[in-house]
Amino acid sequence: MSNEKHLIPRIAIQSIATGLLMMAFFTAIWAIIAHAGLDGRDDNIEIIMFGILAAAFVVKAIYFFSVAKRFPKNTSEADNKRGKKEGMWFGIIFGGEGLGIFIAINVVNNIGHPDLVIPAIALVVALHFYPLGWIFKRAIDYYLATWATIIAVSGIVFTLNHSLSQNNMLAFVGTGLAVATSSYGIYMVFTGRRMMDKLPVEVGQS
């Protein structure tokens, strides 16, 4: 049983820490977009709430990086191959997301709808979670992808049929995506804590 607690490689907790930094950044970005749309109508409550979450993600990321040395560096050959494959696909998806955002921005601008830039970006971000769920075998990616896709598509529809003003659409999409990224960050925090719980007591206290 003691050996099983060492099966989690160092790269796993480091990946969680890196993911938390990314979620902190994107949560802050989407919160700023939402706040810009609200135009001060929420007395800064929303940006403060998401700001606190983003700051907490950074603190947790630093902590996980600091304790990563407690995890075994060496992994099996199978783990190494899987890690390289996952890293390759993550890079491809991340690159595809960047390209997709570039294309989406140009498309909406070229069809005369620069007001759709933010929801179009949100849609690309939402869709990139689906292949991540397949690669990393995580159900939460599918849930968040579906949530974010609904928010993004709704933002596009509400803009085209004038159901929402531009500011209200920014608040709607920004808040929806900030909820998605912060939820992902919270999931990562608990995942990291579960990894820490699998460390032997004597190692965890060293």
**Spatial distance between the Cα atoms of 73 and 67, rounded to a whole number of angstroms:** 12
Span 96-106, average pLDDT? 93
Domain count for the chain, please give it. Answer: 1
Tell me, what's the pLDDT at 72? 80
Is the Cα torsion angle 166, 28, 18, 15 positive or negative in sign? negative
Given a contact cutoff of 8 angstroms between Cβ atoms, the answer to whether 57 and 24 are in contact is yes
| Position 197 confidence tier, pLDDT thresholds 50, 70, 90 | confident
pTM: 0.84
Please say if the pLDDT value at position 6 is more than 60. no
Q: What is the DSSP letter of 69?
A: G
Tell me which residue range forms the domain holding 110.
3-204
Helix 139-160 × helix 166-197 angle, to 10°: 170
